[in-house]
Amino acid sequence: MFDAIKLGRRAFLAGAVTSGAVALSSRYAFAAAEKSADAVGIWGPPVGPSIALAHLTESSAIQDAAPGSVFRVWRTPDQMRAGVASGDMEITIVPTYTGANLFNRGLPVKMANVMTWGLLYMMSTDKAVTSLSDIGGKTIVMPFRNDMPDLVFRHILGANGMSADKDVNILYTATPLEAVQYLLAGRVDTAILPEPLATASILKGLGASIAVNRVLSLQDEWGRATGRAPFIPQAGAVVSDGLLARKPDFVTTFNAQAARSTDWVNNNPASAGRLAQDYLEIAGPVIEKSIPYSNLRVVSAADARADLEFFFETLAQQSPDIIGGKLPADAFYLSL
Amino acid sequence: MGLMKRMSGGTAFGLGCAFFVVLSGQVVAQELFVDPTVVQRHAKGGPPKLITPETLLTADPMHQFRHGALEKSEGAEDSVLGAKRPVKVTTRFDGAGDTKTYAGQAAIKGAEGFAMGGYRFEDSGSYEGGNGEEVDAGYRREVRQFVTGWTPSPLASLKLIGIQDDITDEKQPHHGLDLLETDRKVGRAILETRNIFGTGVDFESGFKLIDLTRRADNYSLRSNSGQKMRVAIDRRIWEGQGKASFDTAGWENALTFTGTHDNHVARRYNVTNDDKVNSVRIPDVDRDTLALNLDTEKSFGAEQDRTLKAGILFERVHTAPGAADEVPDGGPNPALFNISPRTLYSSYYGTTDLDATDNNLSGRLRYEQLVHPAGLTVYGDASRLVRSADNIEKYHAVSGATTSRWVGNPQLSAEKHHKFEIGTIFEDDAYLDYQRKKPGSGLFQSVRLSGSVYYDRINDFITLDRARGQSGVLLSDGAYVFRNVDANWMAANADLQWNATRNLSSRMNVTWQRAENTTDNRAVYQVAPLEANILVDYHESLGSLGTWNVGSRLRLVADQNRLDDDTATGSGFDEHTGGFGVLDLYAGMQVYDRMSLSAGIDNLLDRDYREYIKGNHIENPGKSTIYAPGRAIWVRLSGNF
């Protein structure tokens, strides 16, 4: 089309326009793909497991089963509760105990799977802190009083012969981000943080000439304290009854693809970081470095039931309200 | 010891770009708003750009006979070479010249410091041009880099940077000499302190040393039964800079002071005649520059959507040749060769006062307005940039046969650019970057369109010319000379980026420029012709393993019919080369963000073409154009640890 040595200005412009037109010619095919009534509302908070859902919604398996489905982020518990109640969030990642709570309070949801097996870490700027035995008398900053991390930490302390009320001073913050700020501002030297904020505290510390160390994994301590595997079934996907009625086969497809997408995230942390940047608006390097610590693994709710019930019972011993006062009924655990 | 222990610990982390401020024109200021170095001698030759830590792994092998205004997309391998991992390696083979490239980079970072080391090796040979003929090219290049820093607190840091870029045995098929060695060493130290004594003033100071050694001859890499000559060029530049940044009444200000000393010497030797000097090409020139710069910036409006930037720069540039009276004694024809620089300057320009001092005043004003809610930014930019003649323009003293003489003009006036630019940038909300689209957005909701036009009225444009007894030139012997003329320069650029889906993107870029020597009423030489580049890229996940991509680049270059190709009326620098279109295809895949394989075919249709802008690794206006490589494959394997 373009003569090598005699391309005049007219031919040049013609070639440029033609090539541009070729690039534009496939537009209708894409437009059709984006306009589908079969789309499923898939949501999650800005944390590691949600990256798998972002990848999942871009997969051909999901786009074939539910064309036009897009992953969206919820940023506050109120937004999540409203979305679940209205049915807009047909699938969403929630903390597992929140899923139990929603179910026990009568909201039309079921647990499809567990996607992360623990995101909690103790971070410290004090090089002398290397184990639980080093935190006696210290102030530990913790996001949210009586929330799951607080209850897990208290349980771990108890199992190690320590009291959260006597042996340490826990300073609660309104948000996890505030806990990071306390740590980096030097107001405290030790914090309990979830991923990806634990990794973010390390990277932010590097920029501020502050060495933030990952002292210990609460998952490991949980395993030691309970005699079980070193994992906490922390979060997973709940599915609305409306979706189960509207597309009964979709959840099986969803769980299978979630497992593949989770493998992709674990195997490709840098690519996952870039994907997270687009969906979660979190810096890619933070996600990339946090993925190895996010314990991402998909297990169906039915298969994870024993771990979930043990987890719920342990939490409920300290705060029954966190799961809505009782263990969820059989129907809560979807068998897929 | 404590620092190293901490750096080698679990916080080892790939370094960000913050310390890759290595080789920008300034020592400490990444970018000066008023920066005359953005305008250089037109059609200047010299060593290729230094390879920086940022491009050590990803840069294409150097090639002075193949250009392109738009880089290909990096594709899937970007997540391997861009991953935050401490060690990265890459190796590449290019069919054009059977070029082998090996590169590696290791980096660690801790709270109180960081360090990075890198190495790159390229080995290239002759290649087949699109016309089927072999081009006798080739070179070897070794790059060594280290960057280290001490960051004891957020308020202070010290960075040390060292780079050696050594190119050897670089054949120059378009010229009479080959480059045996181009060795550049760059050392740089930067001290940054913030909020000094609680005043809110940040201060950066730095020192930079550049050492250049070039050696060329006409016999080591080619057969030569005639006169054997060699050239030795040595240049050393010391630069110190201090920059204070402070706010006053909402204005962000930066006051920068720069001092530079540059020593530059080059001689040509007649090897056949006992290696005696036969031309004092650069007569031991000392160039001292003092510069004071003030930049300021403020955003206005409730949404800070209007920004005004202004800057002023005063430079005092003093130049003096130390060996202007040295008379070569090795010329094959003493009457033509054994002439001192002073005699050459005097013969061609009547100049006897060789020292020169320029007092240059530059300034710039820029206004940007963000238009809500359209996502549209419009801007206007007006500037006056004053550039003193460089050492070649002022003091080059190549003796010899008259038509191959090249004589600088010590009394050239500084070049004064008066440039007016307007431009606009439109970005959809869903546009994040090329090949990055906000999820859930529609087909045409991720578009970026930008365009700009400028007009530059240049007083005392320094042009290359032939001695014809024109105003200011005393001889008419056809030697290359430099003169001040007036010129107009106009240019336009448009760029469209469209992410049709989250997988499929396309980009089109068009550049045009036109320059006229208004004193002589002729086209300015070596002005790039109209060029368009079109990228189409597709990328996708690869099961649970990784990602892959395919793409194409179509490069269209129009015929340049505004030539300065007549030695009787102009410089004769230009050569008609014709328009052309070149299509490149490429693809890549990576697994686990740890290893990638990329490959491509450049010049798929095996077009025979020559770039209009001549290969510029060597200084000489008498170069010819050379055919670019024909169809050639390339393969690259990269990994990280």
Q: How confident is the model at residue B25 (pLDDT cuts 50, 70, 90)?
A: low
CATH number at residue A166: 3.40.190.10
For range A293-321, the mean pLDDT: 96
Q: Are residues A124 and A100 in the same domain?
A: no
State residue A36's pLDDT score.
63
Question: Which residues, 6 or more positions from B274, have their beta carbon under 8 angstroms from its beta carbon?
Answer: B330
State residue A323's pLDDT score.
96
> In B418-524, which residue ranges form alpha helices assigned H by DSSP?
none
Query: Which residues does chain A have within 8 Å of residue B433's beta carbon, measured at their own beta carbons?
Result: none
State residue B525's pLDDT score.
97
Q: Indicate the helix (H) or strand (E) that contains B405.
A: none
- Beta-bridged to residue B211, according to DSSP, are B185, B236
Instruction: Please state the domain count of chain A.
Output: 2
B536 and A23 within 8 Å at the Cβ level: the answer is yes
A:9-38 residues touching chain B, CB 8 A cutoff: 9, 11-12, 15-16, 19-20, 23-24, 26-27, 30-31, 33-34
Using a pLDDT cut of 90, give the percent of chain A over it.
80
Measured distance CA(B338)–CA(B328) in Å, rounded: 5
A253, A236, A234, A235: which is closest to A40 by C-alpha?
A: A253
Domain containing residue B529:
2-640
pLDDT digits (tens, 9 = 90+) for B39-69: 999 999 999 999 999 999 999 999 999 998 7
Q: Are residues A87 and A147 in the same domain?
A: no
For range B428-433, the mean pLDDT: 93
Q: Are residues A165 and A243 in the same domain?
A: no
Measured distance CA(B418)–CA(B12) in Å, rounded: 49
Task: Tell whether A18 is covered by a domain.
Answer: no
Nearest by CB to residue B501, choosing from A1, A5, A30, is A30
State residue B620's pLDDT score.
84
A:259-298 residues touching chain B, CB 8 A cutoff: 260-261, 263-264, 267-271, 274, 277-279, 285, 288-289
pLDDT digits (tens, 9 = 90+) for B308-320: 999 999 999 999 9
State residue B541's pLDDT score.
84
Task: Tell whether A16 is covered by a domain.
Answer: no
Q: A206 to chain B: nearest residue by CA?
A: B111
State residue A115's pLDDT score.
97
Task: Tell whether A12 is covered by a domain.
Answer: no
Cβ proximity of B531 and B540 under 8 Å? no
| pLDDT tops 60 at residue A1 | no
Torsion of CA B592, B594, B600, B602, to 10 degrees: 140
A211 and B504 within 8 Å at the Cβ level: the answer is no
pLDDT digits (tens, 9 = 90+) for B144-171: 999 999 999 889 999 999 999 999 999 9
Q: Are residues A138 and A112 in the same domain?
A: no
Question: Which residues, 6 or more positions from B212, have their beta carbon under 8 angstroms from its beta carbon?
Answer: B47, B182, B183, B184, B233, B234, B235, B236
Mean pLDDT, chain B, rounded, equals 93
State residue B69's pLDDT score.
74
Q: Are residues A252 and A103 in the same domain?
A: yes
Measured distance CA(A126)–CA(B497) in Å, rounded: 49
Q: Is B4 helix (H, G, I), strand (E, B) or coil?
A: helix
A:103-162 residues touching chain B, CB 8 A cutoff: none
Task: Tell whether A71 is covered by a domain.
Answer: yes
Task: Tell whether A275 is covered by a domain.
Answer: yes
For range A86-97, the mean pLDDT: 95
What are A281's two structure tokens?
A: 């608006």
Chain B contact present for A329, CB below 8 A: no
B207, B216, B204, B169: which is closest to B188 by C-alpha?
A: B207
Q: Are residues A262 and A138 in the same domain?
A: no
pLDDT digits (tens, 9 = 90+) for B291-304: 999 999 999 988 88
Using a pLDDT cut of 70, give the percent of chain A over it.
89
Nearest by CB to residue B84, choosing from A71, A207, A288, is A288
pLDDT digits (tens, 9 = 90+) for A179-204: 999 999 999 999 999 999 999 999 99
SS3 for chain A is CCCCCCCCHHHHHHHHHHHHHHHHCCHHHHHHHHCCCCCCEEEECCCHHHHHHHHHHCCHHHHHHCCCCEEEECCCHHHHHHHHHHCCCCEEEEEHHHHHHHHHCCCCEEECEEEECCCEEEEECCCCCCCHHHCCCCEEEEECCCCHHHHHHHHHHHHCCCCCCCCCEEEEECCHHHHHHHHHCCCCCEEEEECCHHHHHHHHHHHCCCCCEEEEEHHHHHHHHHCCCCCCCCEEEEEEHHHHHHCCCHHHHHHHHHHHHHHHHHHCHHHHHHHHHHHHCCCHHHHHHHHHHCCEEEEECCCCHHHHHHHHHHHHHHCHHHHCCCCCCHHHECCC
Report CA-CA distances (Å) from B629 to B46, B128, B137, B587, B606.
Answer: 22, 6, 11, 20, 8
Cβ proximity of A176 and A196 under 8 Å? no
Of residues B3 and B31, which shows the higher confidence score? B31
Torsion of CA B494, B499, B503, B505, to 10 degrees: -20
State residue B269's pLDDT score.
97
Sign of CA dihedral B448, B430, A207, A217: negative
Q: Are residues A134 and A93 in the same domain?
A: no
Question: Which residues, 6 or more positions from B640, have their beta carbon under 8 angstroms from its beta carbon?
Answer: B80, B81, B83, B85, B87, B88, B89, B593, B594
| pLDDT tops 80 at residue B394 | yes
Task: Tell whether A30 is covered by a domain.
Answer: no
Q: Are residues A265 and A320 in the same domain?
A: yes
State residue A335's pLDDT score.
85
Cβ proximity of B98 and A299 under 8 Å? no
State residue B197's pLDDT score.
86
Residue listed under structure tokens 């920059």: B243
ipTM confidence? 0.85
Q: Are residues A112 and A239 in the same domain?
A: yes
State residue A10's pLDDT score.
40
Q: Are residues A63 and A161 in the same domain?
A: no
Instruction: Please state the domain count of chain B.
Output: 1
B558 and A260 within 8 Å at the Cβ level: the answer is no
Domain containing residue A238:
36-117+233-332
DSSP B251-285: EEEEEEEEEEEEEEEEEEEEGGGTTEEEEEEEEEE
Q: How confident is the model at residue B22 (pLDDT cuts 50, 70, 90)?
A: very low
Q: Please give the angle made by the CA atoms of A130, A132 and A135, to the nearest 5 degrees.
A: 85
State residue B15's pLDDT score.
33
Buried-state track B360-392, b at ≥16 Cβ within 10 A, e below 16: bebbbbbebbbeeeebebebebebbbbbbbbbb
Task: Tell whether A202 is covered by a domain.
Answer: yes
B326, B246, B264, B255: which is closest to B291 by C-alpha?
A: B255
CA distance B440 to chain A (A): 6
Q: Are residues A94 and A237 in the same domain?
A: yes
Measured distance CA(B103)–CA(B91) in Å, rounded: 6
pLDDT digits (tens, 9 = 90+) for A143-153: 989 999 999 99
When scoring B443, B540, B591 by the number of chain A Cβ atoms within 10 A, the one with the most, hence best to mutate, is B443
State residue B198's pLDDT score.
87
pLDDT digits (tens, 9 = 90+) for B577-619: 999 999 999 999 999 999 999 999 999 999 999 999 999 999 8
Q: B18 to chain A: nearest residue by CA?
A: A207
